[in-house]
Structure 1
Amino acid sequence: MTQHVQTLTLAQACGRLQLFLSRSSRTILGIVGPPGAGKSTVSLRLHALYPQQSQIVPMDGYHLANKELDRLGRAGRKGAPDTFDGHGYRSLLERLRKQGDDELIYAPEFRREIEEPIAGAIPIFPHAKLLIAEGNYLALEQGGWGHVAALLDELWYVEVDPALRLQRLLARHMQFGRSRQAAEDWVREIDEPNARLIESTLARAHFKVRAE
């Protein structure tokens, strides 16, 4: 891939789904971007266009449990690449690539209200022709993430106005219990270093999508 990645409007991005659904085989579309960019919103909008033929497969379900983060000494930077089971997410995508017509595959889901992943929460049905893989580190080349991008048919990078992205992050952290000061500290010390790492993977994307 080149350094110059073409930008699609959200309308153009939605139009590409018809191409994916016209294929005889399943398409796995990756949606990547920094924290607060709007990946989940874009994914939900795409899914809503074809709810019977698509499913979202979020990376966030592969957060390590809080108890394990404590054991590893990583709880203070939850959200960094090594606070997820990247190998586990890759294995899930490999299974979904080979899913049989009568096979039901379960994916985990991250519940933000309890800040924990829940196993077996998302049933992935074999008739879903479009799977929307969504998460921060789909294009990362290090650690357990290195083989994820190769399992995607196409990878879209979601970008948004930086000020709006930071505003969203602060609001999210405060919604789930942090004070404004604690939220600002977390964004500066945890979210933004992760965002810069994710931004460095832009060249691996096929398209950029401008979130609204």
Structure 2
Amino acid sequence: MDEQIDHLVQKTWDKFQDVPRSQRYLIAVSGIPGSGKTTLAAMVSKRLNDLHAKASPGTHNSSPLAAFVPMDGYHLSRAQLDAMPDPVSAHARRGAAFTFDGESFLALVKKLREPICPETGTLFAPSFDHAIKDPVADDIAIAPSIRLLIFEGNYLSLNKSPWKDAAEMMDELWFVEVPFEVARNRLIYRHVKAGIAGDEADAGKRADENDLVNGKEIIEGRLEVHELIKSKEDESVEIPILRIADPVDPTWS
């Protein structure tokens, strides 16, 4: 996996060298639930910061350059789901595209696309608190010095507004591919461990009736992307192996 992550990191680092100081470089990582996109985005962000620190040791430029922003914070709150016409269905389908605040995400991307100047202030994105099962507003700070943003989320390459509008403002779109059966196994493990489901049967039902239904929409409505990344099963359910798809044959597996 390290070799493949290094490829993405080095490619991004090289492209970033040509970005004017007044601009940011934005990458959106998407994939179906259980694909490994969170792992990928977090690792790329960390390694970009490591590269930056090595390039400017002992200077103020060694402060973080990259930030990882997950889309979990853009979940609608439980109170917002309660206010929907069919709250029972809304809660059952939490994680579907209509249960996210895509417009607020688009507004953040538009702000990040504005030129960085001396007056530019810190921007904020929401996070998600799994203990209370709700988003936390303004919990992820994006200082003016953060000029590499790695977003990750299910719908970041979805050909449907407002996700499509945000995708068109990205410098690159990456998509993590995974077989549905592999994703299902990971989701069952995750749902049981997080207490979302009481046992594997309940977790499998949730995966089949919600997560993988969303996954079908994500795949069928996917925009063209710059990188296709294959997520492979390994001995760990939590840390999938990620491999870059062959650029000549994007269906490589």
Unmatched runs of 5 consecutive residues or more in structure 1: 1-7
Q: Which residue of 2 aligns with 1:151?
A: 169
Q: Which amino acid aligns with 1:197?
A: E
- Equivalences for residues 182-197 of structure 1 within 5 A: 182-197=202-217
Residue in 2 that maps onto 1:60? 72
Contact 2:127 2:139 in 1 (8 A): yes
Query: Tell me, what secondary structure is at the counterpart of 2:228?
Result: strand
Query: Aligned-pair distance for 1:29?
Result: 0.5
Hey, which bits of structure 1, 4+ residues long, moved more than 6 A?
A: none
Number of the residue aligned with 2:8: 13
Match of 1:163 among 181, 186, 199: 181
Conserved? CA contact 2:191–2:203, under 8 Å: yes
In structure 2, what is the Cα distance between the partners aligned to 1:181 and 1:43? 30
2:72–2:128 CA contact under 8 A, matched in 1: yes
| Higher RCO (CA < 8 A, seq sep 6+) | 1
Structure 2: runs of 5+ lacking an equivalent? 50-63, 232-240, 242-253
Counterpart of 1:5? Answer: none
Larger mean Cα displacement after TM superposition, 196-205 or 59-68: 196-205
Residue 56 of structure 1 aligns with an amino acid whose one-letter code is: F
Q: What TM-score does the superposition give when structure 2 sets the normalisation length?
A: 0.76
Q: Which residue of 1 aligns with 2:26?
A: 28
1:96 is aligned to 2:107:
no
User: Using a 3 Å threshold, how does the CA distance of structure 1 residues 129 and 56 change in structure 2: closer, same or farther?
Assistant: same
- Aligned equivalents of 1:175, 1:142: Cα separation in 2: 32
Answer whether contact 2:34 2:183 (CA < 8 A) is retained. Answer: yes
Structure 1 counterpart SS, 2:206 = helix
99-108 vs 187-196, which moves further? 99-108
Contact 1:20–1:130 at 8 Å: present in 2 too?
no
Q: Which residue of 1 aligns with 2:159?
A: 141
Q: CA deviation at 1:163?
A: 3.1
Q: How many residues are paired up?
A: 205
Q: Shift of residue 98 of structure 1?
A: 1.2
Distance in 2 separating the partners of 1:99 and 1:50:
22
Matched-pair contact (CA < 8 Å) for 1:113–1:176: no
Offset at residue 100 of structure 1 (A)? 3.5
TM-score normalised to structure 1 length: 0.90
The change in CA–CA distance for 1:206 and 1:156 in structure 2 (over 3 A counts) is same
Taking structure 1 as reference, are residues 56 and 99 closer, same or farther at Cα in structure 2, changes over 3 Å only?
farther
Q: Does 1:87 align with 2:107?
A: no
| CA deviation after TM superposition for structure 1 residue 161, in Å | 4.1
Q: 2:92 aligns with which of 53, 76, 87?
A: 76
Q: Is the 8 A contact 1:169 1:187 kept in 2?
A: yes
Deviation per residue, 1:72-109 (Å, 9 max, x gap): 12111000000001111000111111163441001100
Per mean C-alpha deviation after superposition, the further-off stretch among 168-177 and 137-146 is: 137-146
Q: Whose Rg is larger?
A: 2
Deviating more after overlay: 40-49 vs 95-104: 95-104
